[in-house]
Amino acid sequence: QLASCKANDNVLQCIQSGNERIASIFEEMSVVQKLRRAYAKAAQALRVHGEPIASGAQAKGIAGIGSGMAGRIDVILATGELSELEELKRDSDVIALRELRSVHGIGAVRAAELVERGIRSLAHLREAVAKNQVHLDAAQVVGLRHCEEFMKRIPYAEMLEHHQKLEALRLKNNPSLLLTVCGSYRRGRPDCGDIDVLISHPDYTTAKRDANAGGKLLHGFVESLKTSGYVTADLAFGNTKFMGVCRLSGEDRLHRRLDIRCLPKDQYHFGMLYFTGSAALGVKMRLKAIEMGLTLSEYGLENRRTGEKVAANSEKDIFRTLA
Ligand code: DCP
Ligand code: MG
Ligand code: MN
């Protein structure tokens, strides 16, 4: 009985709105659905129809409303909504969230907040930012500017050019700097998502306790990359890690994501192993270490009980220890 009361309520509301409630639901459907034209036509027909509609059967008499639409009108009259539309909205929310989250620096929470405010696409977000309706932080602004570029993979041939460029800048600015391009490039993948670079210096070790030596090294190197025009923007810049944007010179070059990490020389091989990945291999090796009573990280390998460090002069050393 409660259900039928509720249904009567819905009928009443639909009727009182003079078909507007049903028409607006159909209009929304026309925006998100494949049967666009049928919905738009039905919405329009309902709006100009003088008499309030109290059943699907009644609506079928109106030109532009077929049995499919009549059935949906019965659903709206009974439930107050159209479950098909609610489902479609949920799906399109998922799509909108995914699109917004593709911006570096926009996470799930921020994306949900934006969708809540009706911002459902990158184009829409750009418009809202331009109109000062949405405020993004500096990193998000950079992320949004290059979002489509960052989604494009970097072919191996271009990765070689980045490697050469970094190597040339290293030689020019700080020839004693140690530098390895890691990530998927070092695994020999045919294309890469970004450029992952590990740096260190023979004079920079954990034993020499200059707390900020790594920071100075990283800042000095990144500054030289900026001066040369290779690095074009920052996303995050700490003492051990730089995340930013780079671009090779010349026409038709895309902006690429660049990650640089700086470690003391005695941690270099652990850093290389970590930063080369794959992420899955890293997980496997860290689990193997745990089984052996050791802890493996990008900073080293140590005995969990005694805290004693296991040194390594190459990645091979680390593989051997964990074999
Ligand atoms: N890494 C990890 N665990 C993570 C993320 C990263 O161990 N959750 C390590 C392994 C990765 C390396 O850092 O190889 C670099 O991270 P990227 O996200 O740049 O991944 P890849 O370079 O492997 O792949 P892509 O081509 O997508 O950049
Ligand atoms: Mg990478
Ligand atoms: Mn990376």
Cα(275) to ligand 1 centroid in Å equals 7
Q: 10-residue block means of pLDDT along the chain (323 residues)?
A: 71 84 87 78 91 93 91 94 87 89 93 93 97 97 97 98 98 97 98 98 87 91 97 96 97 97 96 96 94 96 95 95 94
pLDDT of 2: 59
271 within ligand 1 shell (Cβ under 6 A): no
Q: Determine the pLDDT at residue 109.
A: 87
- Give the distance (Å) from ligand 2 centre to CA of residue 194: 4
Q: What spacing in Å lies between the alpha carbon of 276 and ligand 2's midpoint?
A: 8
Q: If DSSP codes are grouped into helix, strand and coil, which group holds residue 75?
A: helix
Residue 100 is predicted with a pLDDT of 96
Give the Å distances, CA to CA, from 315 to 206, 242, 266, 268.
Answer: 18, 23, 12, 9
At 50 the pLDDT is 85
The Cα 44–Cα 65 span in angstroms is 10
User: Which ranges in the chain belong to alpha helices (H)?
Assistant: 2-16, 20-32, 36-48, 56-59, 67-79, 83-101, 108-116, 122-130, 138-145, 147-151, 156-173, 183-186, 213-227, 268-276, 279-291, 315-321
Q: Which of 235, 263, 278, 298 to mutate to test the pocket of ligand 1 (most atoms within 8 A of CB)?
A: 278
Burial of 151 (0-12, 13-18, 19+ CB in 10 A): exposed
CA of 63 to the centre of ligand 3 (A): 59
Bridge partners of residue 246, in order along the sequence = 231, 256
Q: Is the CB of 277 under 6 A from ligand 1?
A: yes
pLDDT of residue 210: 76
**Is 0.95 exceeded by the ipTM?**
yes
Residue nearest to atom 5 of ligand 1 (CA): 279
- Round to whole Å and give the CA distance between 63 and 70: 12
Q: Is 323 in the pocket of ligand 1 (CB under 6 A)?
A: no
Which residues are placed with Cβ below 5 angstroms of ligand 2, an ion?
183, 194, 196
Instruction: Give CB contacts under 8 A, 24+ apart, made by 111-119.
Output: none
Residue 192 Cβ inside 6 Å of ligand 1? The answer reads yes
Helix axes 156-173, 213-227, angle to 10 degrees: 110
pLDDT at 1: 62
Question: Atom of ligand 1 at shortest distance to CA of 278?
Answer: 14
